[in-house]
Amino acid sequence: MSKTKHIGVIGSGSFGTALSHVLAQNGHEIHLFTRDEQVKVDINTNHRNTLFLENYEIDSKVTATTCLETACASPIILLAVPSHAMRAVTEEVVPYINDDTTLIHVTKGLEQRTNLRMSEVIKDVCRKHEVSPAIAVLSGPSHAEEVIQHIPTVVAVGSESPETRKKVQRLFMNKWFRVYENKDMIGMELGGTLKNIIALAAGIMDGLAYGDNTKAALVTRGLAEITRLGVALGAHKETFMGLTGIGDLMVTANSRHSRNWRTGYRIGKGEKLSSITGDSHMVAEGVKATQVAFQYAKQHQLAMPITEQVYLVLFEEKNPQLAVQELMTRKEKEEWSVTL
């Protein structure tokens, strides 16, 4: 555990709130930025975020604010926003930071228009504003509902800077929240993003009432598929065998805490994507990730049959049972070939 620091957290959703609690429990003073006046009042008065984490108490050292400048008046800023909002939020944050700032993001997604990873989006915005903060990603199997209950959780931090990795590791580490270092930011960000596609597929399988055999095959072949794409995009294969690969995939594909699993489950039960996304205030990042990965697979001429079928189910309303049948009747092949 490091010395007490003032830390700004941008994003008062479930994960931003849970990580604010972790940091506050470690003795740090947290300013949690929200655009919702009621969330601010709820956190500051009741020490709860009823909108996103209704049943859990938040450490009193977390102070919510609707003033972005107040949250950003810290040497360390945690960005916990959806992927589609990262560029706009970074544009708002960047006037308040400098080269000594450390920006940590926890977003598992790709920018839909550019296909950039979140650290690339942050760098792009900072470059235009001629500022060079240290950038890190914190990722791994970590449902907010479990983190805030102090259920033992293990994640990883990635950064190009060894000093930044160590700094972030020490900020978060305690007896119930463990952090490993990983040099492979590309693999960490892609693993955290691409596993959401397989989690959607897992939810669809459960919605169709398929069994454990199907789930095991899906997760295993899904891991091979996202590893294939990750390596093509510059990641290390080993990262997909770690916390931000198979670890994150296992927890996301098997838990009702997962937004991606829940979205897939409802589709498996016969709902349309448009009706699901229209009635939820929480984002299933896998929906956007599926579009991006589908484009990447075509661009790099990679076989990604599960991703392709998920894409067709989501965006062309293909019958999920037909999608499974087509996956099962693909041409026979070796399990461990050069192309996975």
Q: Is 195 designated active site?
A: yes
Q: Is 14 annotated as a binding residue?
A: yes
Q: Is 11 annotated as a binding residue?
A: yes
Q: Is 144 annotated as a binding residue?
A: yes
Q: Is 285 annotated as a binding residue?
A: yes
Q: Is 248 annotated as a binding residue?
A: yes
Q: Is 303 annotated as a binding residue?
A: no
Q: Is 280 annotated as a binding residue?
A: no
Q: Is 260 annotated as a binding residue?
A: yes
Q: Is 251 annotated as a binding residue?
A: no
Q: Is 262 annotated as a binding residue?
A: no
Q: Is 177 annotated as a binding residue?
A: no
For the chain, give the secondary structure using H, E and C.
CCCCCEEEEECCCHHHHHHHHHHHHCCCEEEEECCCHHHHHHHHHHCEECCCEEEEECCCCEEEECCHHHHHCCCEEEECCCHHHHHHHHHHHHHHCCCCCEEEECCCCECCCCCCEHHHHHHHHHHHCCCCCEEEEEECCCCHHHHCCCCCEEEEEEECCHHHHHHHHHHHCCCCEEEEEECCHHHHHHHHHHHHHHHHHHHHHHHCCCCHHHHHHHHHHHHHHHHHHHHHCCCCHHHHHCHHHHHHHHHHHCCCCCHHHHHHHHHHCCCCHHHHHHCCCCCCHHHHHHHHHHHHHHHHCCCCHHHHHHHHHHHCCCCHHHHHHHHHCCCCCCCCCCCC
Q: Is 140 annotated as a binding residue?
A: yes
Catalytic residue, candidates 123, 167, 183, 195: 195
Q: Is 18 annotated as a binding residue?
A: no
Residue numbering of the annotated binding site = 11-16, 35, 108, 140, 142, 144, 195, 248, 258-260, 283, 285
Residue numbering of the annotated binding site for sn-glycerol 3-phosphate = 108, 140, 142, 195, 248, 258-260
Residue numbering of the annotated binding site for NAD(+) = 11-16, 144, 259
Q: Supply the residues annotated as catalytic.
A: 195
Residue numbering of the annotated binding site for substrate = 108, 259-260
